Chain A
């Protein structure tokens, strides 16, 4: 069992951001920076994280942040990392981007950086929509979820960005969730020990976007994992290991409805879409379990 004691007390997200109450983005970043430490530069494309930093000339983030245009984050990080390494510096270069910035708009720069073997960590915190512009659908929005641009529920499935990243064969990639800060902390620490590109995809339940009340952010993340909608794993040099929490969930999942019902975005989901969502979940688990068994 992980203990809280292992996690440094030092905070790099100062009190406090302008994030909505109960924001998983803010919670995720607390632990990302605790794991990365002071010698870190964040590269942030347009997303909630660009907005929540505070008001100029002040910022809540106690590490250097490079705020950059949507499609350019990973390209910027590539140049930065090369410059640091050329001058003998070990500074961690971390892209911290939303799902819109990763799955949709920043995907080509990201693919390029992974293909070139850039020494950096790319973290996608996934609130499953374009949050800071008012919750439009993204490639990360799950089927059935209502957003401002899919008022009747999204008819397409969530894009499998992890499979796309895996096709680049990075030394290390993982999934995490804001509701499991110790696991997230360990994965960020581990990712930063690899030379080359690493990727962490963090599920970040968003109270206003998913339409649940603010106190349920952590609960919602746990329900995502317990229902199997979100599977926690890591893949090291192609070898997949599923987290114990997710192994338990795969063996004995809670009903999917327990995860969907508290979220307003799934309100009134029809039986056919629910069934498709269920099939999607089952297919994903089958695929990951088979890969883990082979690894």
Chain B
């Protein structure tokens, strides 16, 4: 980026641009590896891209919406209340 571009008042792509949204969570997804068949649907439907290609949930950002648990065909995800 040129010095001129750097001075432009525009936002730059950054992870965490809206903060660590994991702090919003009331329930957290917990995956039962025994039941999971690695279908990847949880990753596909997560609106926040909080599940990576290896199907690990990034709890720094997961908002706890529960879509992954609701859509899991194996019922392998439980939503567990966060202890705060």
Contacts and interface: CB of A to CB of B under 8 A. Distances in A.
B18 to A, nearest CB: 4
A126 B39 CA distance: 29
The majority secondary structure among interface residues of chain B is loop
Nearest to A217: B67
B58 A9 contact: no
Interface residues of B, number: 35
A18 interface: yes
Interface in B66-81: 66-67, 69-71, 79
B24 A21 contact: yes
B30 interface: no
B30 to A, nearest CB: 14
Nearest to B60: A15
A216 interface: yes
A277 interface: no
Contacts of A214: 63-67
B31 to A, nearest CB: 15
Interface in B48-69: 48-50, 53, 58, 60-61, 63-67, 69
Contacts of B5: none
Nearest to B10: A57
Given A16-B61, A60-B13, A30 B69 contact: no
A236 B70 CA distance: 35
A218 B14 contact: no
Contact of B45 (A14, A16, A181, A213): A181
Contacts, number: 113
Contacts of A60: 13-15, 17-18
Given A16-B50, A58-B11, A22 B16 contact: no
Nearest to B43: A4
A213 B66 CA distance: 9
A230 interface: no
Given A4-B40, A15-B50, A56 B11 contact: yes
Contact of A215 (B18, B19, B49, B66): B66
Given A4-B44, A9-B53, A30-B49, A15 B67 contact: no
A4 B40 CA distance: 8
A23 interface: yes
Contacts of B21: 16, 18
Nearest to B25: A21
A122 interface: no
Kindly name the residue among A4, A11, A13, A14 whose own CB sees the greatest number of chain B CB atoms within 10 A.
A14
Contacts of B46: 27
Nearest to B53: A9
A81 interface: no
B12 A181 contact: no
A59 B15 contact: no
A17 interface: yes
In the A-B complex, the 4 residue pairs with the closest CB atoms: A54-B17, A215-B66, A18-B18, A22-B65
Given A16-B48, A26-B47, A217-B65, 19 more contacts: A4-B44, A9-B53, A14-B14, A15-B58, A15-B61, A16-B61, A22-B47, A26-B48, A30-B49, A53-B11, A56-B11, A57-B11, A58-B13, A59-B11, A59-B14, A62-B13, A215-B66, A216-B70, A217-B47
